[in-house]
Chains A and B, each alone.
Chain A
Amino acid sequence: MGGDAVESARIAVGVIDDHPVVIEGVRTWLARDPGIEVGHVADTVEDVPCGLDVLILDLNLHGRLVLDELARLAAAGQRVITFSQFTEREMVLAALDAGACEFVAKNEGSAHLLAAVRTVAADRPYVTPTAAGVLASDRRPDAAPLSERERTALLLWFQSMSKASVARRMGVSVHTVEMYVKRARVKYARAGRPAPTKADMLARAFEDGLIRPDEIVGYRSAASTD
């Protein structure tokens, strides 16, 4: 799914949350963008319709973590943005490993959620400050090998107020900061289980010239047969 054909049409978004007030709030935020339409609203992960471009999923539904369901959806090619009030490192990494395209913390506000929906719908990486903090501090042995500049950009983006501010700190352009952050996120796409959504994001990153295939050390496409 995805691809250029969708970009001209409206982005179909599903919202799954067990709090009606959150669903209402997210709908209001999404309504600000005429290019987005809400095609599905539910409080469980059952019966998610096909054809949604992006699914906004609360990680904790009725007191239960839905990481397995998230992995199932990602494996079926559904782009998922997890939207959670839990921002612990383990939670964020588990969501990204399971195949979530992005993690947006509930305290991060409408701008990040809207930008994430638009970017993720185009199979491009989006990194919220919360996710940046987690990726920058990930010291697991199998963590993606980030360059020093990439790690610095993530760290500053996590702490900072804007990418312009990060650019000033690093003495580079905002575009370069964007590139460091996106490259770091793409490198992380190989972590955890393979998913078509991750493969789509990697393919798009190669297309965009964001990263070269040989920079993804140990990456194996979900489609490879060996």
Chain B
Amino acid sequence: MTRAAERPVAVRYARAFRWTVIGVVAVWHLGYDVVIIARSVGGYDPVAAVFAAWVLLAAVQTAGAVLLLRSELDAARARALAAVALAAGELAGAAYPPGAAISDVSWAANTVGWTGVLLLVRRPLGELGVFMAVDVGCTAAHMAADGTLGQVGATRLITVAYTTAGIQLIFAWLGRRLHEAARQATESAGRWSAGLARSAAEEAVHAERRRRYEYLQARVEPLLRGLAEARLRPDDDAVRRRTAIEAARLRRLFAETDDTPHPLLHELRACADVAERRAVAVTLLSYGDVPPLPTPVRRALAEAPLLVLAGAASWARLAVVAGPDEVVVSVVADADVEVPVRADGPLSVVLDREEGRLWVETRWNPPGSP
């Protein structure tokens, strides 16, 4: 759940960072580079190499930006484009006048650096470090070839490396920190709400246990105590019936918190199960889809069938018909028990007797239905 929760914020940060990088690269290449090239166009040899390098870099930047925004910039593509960018930088550098690797006419090394930030934004920072090292290394190689890499030249190279590659690396690093911070913040928020949900669930379970315990104490304990102290006789029919009813109630109570797709049928089956242990043949038929019912409604719907099943001598037939606006649970059995008839509110219980058979119907209409 933390993964799903962190996504919006983390994705927003990542997207903002990508657009910023693309913006920086575009402004730099379309603005600064064009101005430098236009101003010094006579100084390059051959000038066509500089034009070609500019176009090539523009193409790499466009391809990289499109792939990045589509989330299709995988490792292989990023590295291939990065190599092309470095090659374009080298092509431009080869056309600079002698001794001008770091000068008013040099433009490529810095742009190549920003292009690298764009291309390697989703790769480990080490890869960008290697890329920057190669970029600066090319400039150093040109200076060495020109013989300008003396003490002054080296100092200039270091200064330029600091102000270009250094800034670019710091920019990439900060972007990553920002993204990481956003992820951590949403993660801890997720953990907090998960903890809240867990403690609420634990409280609900606790309340449920307490309710069941109170029930046991009120109904079952006196029965067991009576049997243990020989005040109640197991061969007394009334005691046996009371025991059968409480056994069914307990069984239904335990089934109540089970996680099943059809809780009402599950609970009725639990009641039937207890009767079947007494060798009562139970048929359970159900037609229609039972709508989701609150626990108290299920409890009320199961109560009359439970009493009849507990009193059945040899057979019982449970029938459930359900629809969105009505749930009817009925039971026919060779039982002779008292079932309270009621007709209050959304729940009604009616019964009929015929030749030793008892039919009890419990009907529930949700409030608001006709």
Chain A residues proximal to chain B, CB less than 8 Å: 87, 89, 107, 129-130, 133-134, 136-137, 139, 155, 158-162, 164-165, 168-169
Contacts and interface: CB of A to CB of B under 8 A. Distances in A.
B287 A161 contact: no
B287 A134 contact: yes
Contacts of A130: 285
A137 B321 contact: yes
Interface of B: 283, 285, 287-288, 319, 321-323, 328, 330, 332, 350, 352, 354, 357, 359, 361
A155 B327 CA distance: 11
Given A161-B357, A165-B354, A165-B359, A136 B285 contact: no
A168 B361 CA distance: 14
A107 B281 CA distance: 11
B354 A139 contact: no
A160 B322 contact: no
A165 B322 contact: no
B327 to A, nearest CB: 11
Nearest to B358: A161
Contact of A137 (B323, B332, B352): B323
A137 B357 contact: no
Nearest to A160: B359
Given A159-B332, A161-B357, A161-B359, A89 B287 contact: yes
Contacts of B359: 159-161, 165
25 contacts: A87-B285, A89-B288, A107-B283, A133-B285, A137-B321, A137-B322, A137-B323, A139-B288, A155-B321, A158-B287, A158-B319, A159-B321, A159-B328, A159-B330, A159-B332, A159-B359, A160-B330, A160-B332, A160-B352, A160-B359, A161-B332, A161-B352, A164-B354, A165-B354, A169-B350
Nearest to A136: B321
Q: Is the interface of B mostly helix, strand, loop or mixed?
A: strand
A110 B131 CA distance: 89
B354 A137 contact: no
Contacts of B328: 155, 159
Nearest to B322: A137
Contact of B354 (A133, A136, A155, A161): A161
Nearest to B319: A159
A136 B321 CA distance: 8
Contacts of A89: 287-288
10 tightest A-B CB contacts, nearest first: A159-B330, A137-B288, A137-B287, A159-B319, A161-B332, A133-B287, A161-B357, A165-B352, A137-B321, A89-B287
Contacts of B323: 137, 139
